Chains A and B, each alone.
Chain A
Amino acid sequence: MSYTKRLDGRKFDELREMKAIVGIVPNADGSALFAFGDTIAIAAVYGPKQLHPQHLQDPRRGILRCNYDMLSFSVPERKKPGPTRRSHEISKVTQWALSEIVNLEEFPNTVVDVHISILQANASTRCAGINAAALALAHAGIPMKEIVSSVSIGKIDDRIVVDVNKEEEEYEEGAGSTDIPMAFLARSKKIALFQLDGGIELEQLKDAIEAAEQACKKVYKIQQEALKDIR
């Protein structure tokens, strides 16, 4: 019995309903919310501001610092607050994806802080976080080359699906599930994030990348609308 129909009734290349709002944290220099269905992330950007401790400063350019955090009420079973091995990893890959787009050479010795909080988690949280952070950085007026859009691709049994949810992530029949979060730069079409959890054949991986590129275009459209809608 193979995976012929998705558990929540979506088409195989269909994303969950997306939502993006810019400017939701009044005290931040830039902020945004991004949601894939039940997965909701908010990002707040502070800076550029002077970086302390001084030994972390870079006299050639400003640096970017990301902090990803799942709030304790975001999952069915209460999560112990504070940083974990997982949140450290996601902070780091988010930072790498975002440093591809920001251009902080005008602000040496400064730091731009990005705080991503997951309000509600139903898989693909790092993707929602990156999407929200890209919007928040743009809203903060940081010099940027382009916008990054992110989506997670899954291989459930032998089918490629777009925007995996928790139910699919835990699918165990057949070949089980493989989760591949990816991020694409909207203009130059480069890949800024690529992680793979599970196993996949090379040929199918190419299909997955193709699917991600198409899905990221849809994400980008939502991001574009949210930024232009600012009033």
Chain B
Amino acid sequence: MSREVVIPGETIIAGEDYLPGDGVRREGNELVASRFGLAEISGRLVRIIPLSGVYIPRRGNIVIGRVIDITFNGWSIDINAPYLAFLPIIECPRFFNRYDLAENADIGDMIVAKVLNIKTRGVDLTLKGRGLGKLEKGMIIAVNSNKVPRVIGKEGSMINLIKEKSKCDIIVGQNGLIWLKGETIEDELFSEKAIKFVTERPFVEGLTEKTKEWLEEKKK
């Protein structure tokens, strides 16, 4: 498996043996990049992993968003994507007064939800699932959504490390918004610093180990 930075219009590889995946198109015998990113060749499949740009929702993603409007059957949510998201009341597992939706989540409130469906125009969200719902207290920071896999680490190794060392509750939205809640503001600011440490070093090998050292040094 090889990885390389490619730019739009660049030939990644030639040959009939390969199949074009995300961000790759075929032009005659050549596979050409259709966007900027890391080209990854795994087996026969060639695809591009984005390095930058806005968050594009995918089904099943956990996202953090802000309520920006209340309609008769649900909430409009801004999830930092090209389109607005909508959370209908039938996707809310809790019982509440459907004539006063503001009681459950008012304009400006932050919620954590799952992407249920992506339509041609807009995104549907659901709150059915563990840990989903309105976010109370704590603080929210924003990172680039393409750095989220780094913040989470392999099977959550990085985020668990930060949670443990900073004694904070952390929810990482796939859209790059991260919710932090600790005992004190200092704990929250510390975990924010740790996350910034991770996102500012996107190309470092063995980052989990380095973060561990950094956290232990700063903790003193």
Question: Measuring CB to CB, which residues of chain A are less than 8 angstroms from any residue of chain B?
Answer: 23, 29-30, 47-50, 101, 103, 107-110, 138-147, 185-187, 223-224, 227-228, 230-231
Q: Which residues of B contact A50 (CB under 8 A)?
A: 82-84
* Cβ B36 vs Cβ A141 within 8 A: yes
* Cβ A108 vs Cβ B120 within 8 A: yes
Provide the main secondary structure of the chain A interface: loop
Q: Which residues of A contact B120 (CB under 8 A)?
A: 108
Partner of A101, one of B5, B8, B83, B84: B8
* Cβ A143 vs Cβ B203 within 8 A: no
* Cβ B34 vs Cβ A144 within 8 A: yes
A-B contact pairs, 17 of them (CB 8 A): A29-B54, A30-B52, A47-B82, A103-B34, A138-B7, A138-B35, A138-B36, A140-B54, A141-B52, A141-B53, A142-B35, A146-B9, A147-B7, A227-B7, A227-B36, A230-B5, A230-B51
* Cβ A228 vs Cβ B7 within 8 A: yes
Q: Which A residue sits closest to B6, measured CB to CB?
A: A228
Question: Measuring CB to CB, which residues of chain B are less than 8 angstroms from any residue of chain A?
Answer: 5, 7-10, 23, 32, 34-37, 50-54, 82-84, 120-121, 146, 202-203
Q: Which residues of A contact B23 (CB under 8 A)?
A: 143
A141 with B82: in contact, given A30-B52, A48-B54, A147-B7 (CB under 8 Å)?
no
Q: Which residues of B contact A109 (CB under 8 A)?
A: 83, 121
Q: Which residues of A contact B35 (CB under 8 A)?
A: 138, 141-144
Q: In the complex the two chains form, what is the Cα distance from A147 to B7 in whole Å?
A: 8
Q: Which B residue sits closest to A188, measured CB to CB?
A: B9
* Cβ B34 vs Cβ A224 within 8 A: no
Q: In the complex the two chains form, what is the Cα distance from A62 to B78 in whole Å?
A: 19
Q: Which residues of B contact A228 (CB under 8 A)?
A: 5, 7
Q: Which residues of B contact A47 (CB under 8 A)?
A: 54, 82
Q: Which residues of A contact B203 (CB under 8 A)?
A: 231
Q: In the complex the two chains form, what is the Cα distance from A230 to B23 in whole Å?
A: 19
* New A-B pairs, 19, CB < 8 Å, besides A50-B82, A143-B34, A147-B9: A29-B54, A48-B82, A49-B54, A139-B53, A141-B36, A141-B52, A141-B53, A142-B35, A142-B53, A143-B23, A144-B9, A144-B34, A144-B36, A147-B7, A185-B9, A187-B9, A223-B7, A227-B36, A228-B5
Q: Which A residue sits closest to B83, measured CB to CB?
A: A50
List of 4 A-B pairs having minimum Cβ-Cβ separation, nearest first: A141-B53, A146-B9, A144-B8, A187-B9
* Cβ A145 vs Cβ B5 within 8 A: no
> What's the nearest-Cβ distance from chain A to residue B37, in Å?
7
Q: Which residues of A contact B54 (CB under 8 A)?
A: 29, 47-49, 140-141
Q: Which of B8, B50, B82, B83 has the most CB of A within 10 A?
A: B8
Q: Which A residue sits closest to B9, measured CB to CB?
A: A146
Q: Which residues of B contact A110 (CB under 8 A)?
A: 82-83
> What's the nearest-Cβ distance from chain A to residue B150, in Å?
14
